[in-house]
Amino acid sequence: MKFFADTAEIAEIEDLAATGLLDGVTTNPSLIAKSGRDFMEVTKEICALVEGPVSAEVVALDHATMMKEAEVLRKIADNVCIKVPLTIDGLKTCKALTGDGTMVNVTLCFSANQALLAAKAGATFVSPFVGRHDDNGFDGMDLIRDIRLIYDNYDFDTEILVASVRHVVHVLESARIGADVMTAPPKVIKSLFNHVLTDKGIEGFLKDWAATGQSIL
């Protein structure tokens, strides 16, 4: 499963990219606003930090203006992935852009039917929001299972990009189901490293090593 970071903070992306575990980045208007920086500038910097897709979202709601915004965004870098909402106009834009060879991430997916439409429109990625789904009394993982089944039934190329990931269980369950990608805040990705037995093991090894009085350097 590919790991994308859901952030627009350059320092966090640099830190994760240094591990070699980061496959891409997703941004949205809210994350850009939180960074307090210029949209085009920060997107360009992110694209230079990672080789994989960097999702940059249009803000228009009509197809014609989405296309104009996409034309500006995809000139930022070759790895820009245009992010569009799961609406009729968004899918029109998706179809036009992917037909031209541009990567497209269809976002704000909350049903398997919507995911089916995104795949038929040629989306590179579809982003079901599992955390927000959970917040509204549904099971976000059931949504991922349904999408995986449908996509496998018809051999769609669209990759399932699990979004709105809140904790490590979302990551684990997404991997079990066979999602292609998950995007999460850096703090969630870093929490995957944590285990009390790892910490205890390191503590024990260091204590025993200190008792030998030796040094590697």
For residue 181, what are the contacts with CB-CB under 8 A and spacing of at least 6? 1, 2, 3, 4, 23, 24, 125, 159, 160, 161, 162
* Catalytic positions: 83
Q: Quick one: CA dihedral 127, 100, 102, 150, positive or negative? A: positive
Q: Are 91 and 117 in contact, with CB atoms under 8 Å apart?
A: yes
SS3 assignment, position 74: coil
Closest by CA position to 121, among listed 149, 156, 147, 154? 156
User: How many CB atoms sit inside 10 A of residue 105's CB?
Assistant: 28
